[in-house]
Structure 1
Amino acid sequence: MTFYTFAKIVVKGIFKPIYRIEAIGVENIPKEGSVLLCANHISNLDPVALGITCPRPVIYMAKEELFRVPILKGIIKKLYAFPVKRGKADREALRKGLETLKSERILGIFPEGTRSKTGEIGKGLAGAGFFALKSDATVVPAAIIGPYRPFRKVKVVYGKPIDMKPLKEKRASSNEAIELIMDHIKEILLQYK
């Protein structure tokens, strides 16, 4: 058993009853192949919510500051996360993200780049659009809905995969791609809130 699987079992046993996590649309996650999983970001607990509800391991880009905390650094590395420098183009993180997708795994991204203080969805950054256009990954939008208060339900809703082919054919920009992805996340939020 991998550390990831062990951690998922333990955390799910604690987390799921406290936050009454409900997963919807899990069937929209392909059973194999590369997946770019894009979700809104409302809490530091979001990676955990996705990690315990997604049927396959999720590899995250995590802010580099987390890799400076001694104990945390070891844990998040064992959970397959890799660092990203926020606020600037990080070529190493982009390379690592594409590598993750080429190896047919799931790359989890919060396109807003930071948590929403209001709970409202923010503007998406171009990075997720770059991965969507430069890889053959299936792009799955997801919405996390809930206040993360004990015994209040948190919903994790996985939407249907987004068809990126028209944007790839017209050589769209990363900004156009992220707008499309964010529109899908907004639609899920409106439908399930």
Structure 2
Amino acid sequence: MKIFAHISWLFATIVIAISLTIMIITFYMLPRPYSRKFSAWLIRTAIFFRIEVEGKEDSDAQMFLLNHQSDLDIVVLETITKRDIAWVAKKELFEIPFFGLALKLPQDIAVERESKTSLIKLLKDAKHVLKTNRAIAMFPEGTRSTKDVMLPFKSGAKIVADANKLRVQPVVLMQSGKYYNTKKFYYKPGRIKAIFLESFIADKSDENWLSDLRIKMQKVYNDELANNPSSR
């Protein structure tokens, strides 16, 4: 069984690499954001994982905040919304050969951890993205969580949202790391559930809204695990 999971992981990883290559090749051939959407749909279709959506996307949302467990998380959001997404990712990812190009071409937002100058650049890049009617997507945990407990949310999401008074929509992804794990070289086809929560306008006068949001998202995650066996 483990051998099959490792073979499946290799196949899924090859599919992801091919899909990114297609995205890069077709980026200037297709209107935005079709090259990225096509790449995401190719991954979703070719490796046979399904997505169940609960709740409704707010078409006016300017920022999506998602919990992060797997590289498939990006594919999930890209295939359940038609919006042109600007992903916020750590600067190191932009510097990886080939993969970094898949982030640079769509002009995603690079952020350097523990850097005050990077924070200024983040705010500037976010403002530019919003002017082009793109939506910002962030993983406020900053990295993948390996268990069913979300990591503390980083302040960057709050700073960007507060500065621009953004309409924020949280999205809870259920156990995507159970299906695709790059550290264990493991993949199995399955169903990933995405839960859209109610959107809200960021209010900088509320100092705790981001930490309160983590508690709310964790509760939704826990309730889904407790009440829906297929999400375990």
TM-score range, shorter chain: 0.7 to 0.9
Q: Which residue of 2 aligns with 1:172?
A: 206
Contact 1:57 1:106 in 2 (8 A): yes
Does 2:86 match 1:22? Answer: no
How high is the TM-score relative to the length of structure 2?
A: 0.70
Contact 2:149 2:218 in 1 (8 A): no
Residues 182 and 102 of structure 1, relative CA distance in 2, 3 Å threshold: farther
Q: Which residue of 1 aligns with 2:115?
A: 88
Contact 1:162 1:181 in 2 (8 A): no
Displacement of 1:78 in angstroms is 2.4
Contact 1:3 1:78 in 2 (8 A): no
Does 2:74 match 1:47? Answer: yes
Residues 88 and 178 of structure 1, relative CA distance in 2, 3 Å threshold: farther
CA distance in 2, matches of 1:98, 1:180: 25
Where in structure 2 are there 5+ consecutive unaligned residues?
1-29, 180-186, 226-232
Where in structure 1 are there 5+ consecutive unaligned residues?
none
Does 2:119 match 1:119? Answer: no
Contact 2:165 2:201 in 1 (8 A): no
Q: Which residue of 2 aligns with 1:159?
A: 197
**Count of residue pairs the alignment pairs up:** 184
- What stretches of structure 1 move > 4 A for 4+ residues in a row? none
Q: Percent identity at matched positions? A: 23
- 1:21 partner letter: I
CA distance in 2, matches of 1:136, 1:54: 22
CA distance in 2, matches of 1:188, 1:54: 21
Contact 1:97 1:131 in 2 (8 A): yes
Give the greater-gyration-radius structure (CA): 2
Residues 159 and 11 of structure 1, relative CA distance in 2, 3 Å threshold: same
CA distance in 2, matches of 1:2, 1:104: 14
RMSD: 2.2
